[in-house]
Amino acid sequence: MTASEKIAAARANATGKRLVGCFRVPGAIMEGRANMAHAHTDIDWLACELIEQIPGKVSGRPIVRGTRILPDAIVNCYDAGETLEEIHEDYPGLTTSQIQRLIEFAHAMRRQPVS
């Protein structure tokens, strides 16, 4: 086991997630088992009513309104196998209905043909 693997193992918490910086990342992502087909996205998040973009806040990236949460982070957690409840534990500033809406919006946008 390498030193970085020992550190990651030491940071593992009771929910089976590993701490990466100040963020908890699902083990599937850390082990490379996540579906990376959706790791990067071309979703027009500004078309979602829950999203805002403020110059200078989170480098001007789309965020969930009133927070500093990136919507892609929510969707990627879900796509990696986390449940809505687990995501809500990680992002208590969002309601489960907001989380559900972000996931539904992203999945609907992915199904639309690129024009």
Give pTM, 2 decimals.
Answer: 0.64
Domains of the chain: 1-33 (no CATH), 36-115 (1.10.10.10)
Neighbour count for residue 111 (Cβ, 10 Å): 6
Tracing tokens 């970085």 back to the chain, one arrives at 4
Nearest to 105 by CA among 81, 74, 77, 82: 74
Task: Encode pLDDT of 32-87 as tens digits.
Answer: 434 434 344 579 999 999 999 999 999 999 999 999 999 999 999 999 999 999 99
- Closest C-alpha among 81, 97, 73, 98 to residue 21: 73
pLDDT score, position 113: 65
Q: Which backbone phi and psi does 44 adopt, to 5 degrees? A: -85, 85
Residue 31 confidence (pLDDT) above 80:
no
Between CA 77 and CA 97 the distance in angstroms is 16
> Measuring CA to CA, which residue among 49, 25, 32, 33 is closest to residue 104?
49
Q: Which pair of structure tokens corresponds to residue 50?
A: 């829950």
